[in-house]
Amino acid sequence: MTQDTLFSKIIKKEIPAEIVFQDDRATAFRDINPKAPCHILIVPNKIIPTVNDVTEEDEALLGHLFIVARNLAQQEGIAEDGYRLIINCGRHGNQEVFHLHMHLVGGRSLGRMIQRD
């Protein structure tokens, strides 16, 4: 049995979150520490810890996350101006929650993608 994650508890509504979309494959909720006016996390209901754990079997599921992102961007009114989709992986990617998720960030100009520290 796969161990629960913070996000799987949100998906099961055991932990509160502002859920903006949910179906049988994915859940989207507002990030608790938003980096922009719109910052939503799009999470597969199935626990996949990181991109390194993705299998061929997950292909359609991961494609679905993009459909959800497109729809939410439209819903949030940020589609036309644009936005950024981010998936962090592992230590160098600064991943904090080991349940694969896509950040949908927008509502302001986001600047260059990567800065040197």
Q: Do 2 and 46 contact (CB within 8 A), yes or no? A: no
Q: Which stretch binds ligand AMP (CB under 6 A): 19-27, 56-64, 93-101, 107-115?
A: 93-101
In this complex, which beta carbon is closest to ligand AMP, that of residue 25 or of residue 30? 30
Q: Do 5 and 17 contact (CB within 8 A), yes or no? A: no
Taking the C-alpha atoms of residue 18 and residue 83, their distance in angstroms, rounded to an integer, is 20
28 DSSP β-pair partners: 21, 42
From the list 12, 13, 32, 81, which residue makes contact with ligand AMP (rule: CB under 6 A)? 32
Q: What share of the chain is helix, strand, coil (3-state, %, to 5)?
A: 25, 20, 55
The answer to whether 101 is a known catalytic residue is yes
Is 33 one of the binding residues for ligand AMP (CB under 6 A)?
Answer: yes
Phi and psi at 63, nearest 5°, equal -60, -35
Q: What are the tokens at 59?
A: 């292909």
In this complex, which beta carbon is closest to ligand AMP, that of residue 3 or of residue 94? 94
From the list 22, 45, 75, 88, which residue makes contact with ligand AMP (rule: CB under 6 A)? 88
From the list 24, 57, 80, 96, which residue makes contact with ligand AMP (rule: CB under 6 A)? 96
- Footprint of ligand AMP (CB under 6 A): 6, 17, 29, 31-33, 41, 88, 94-97
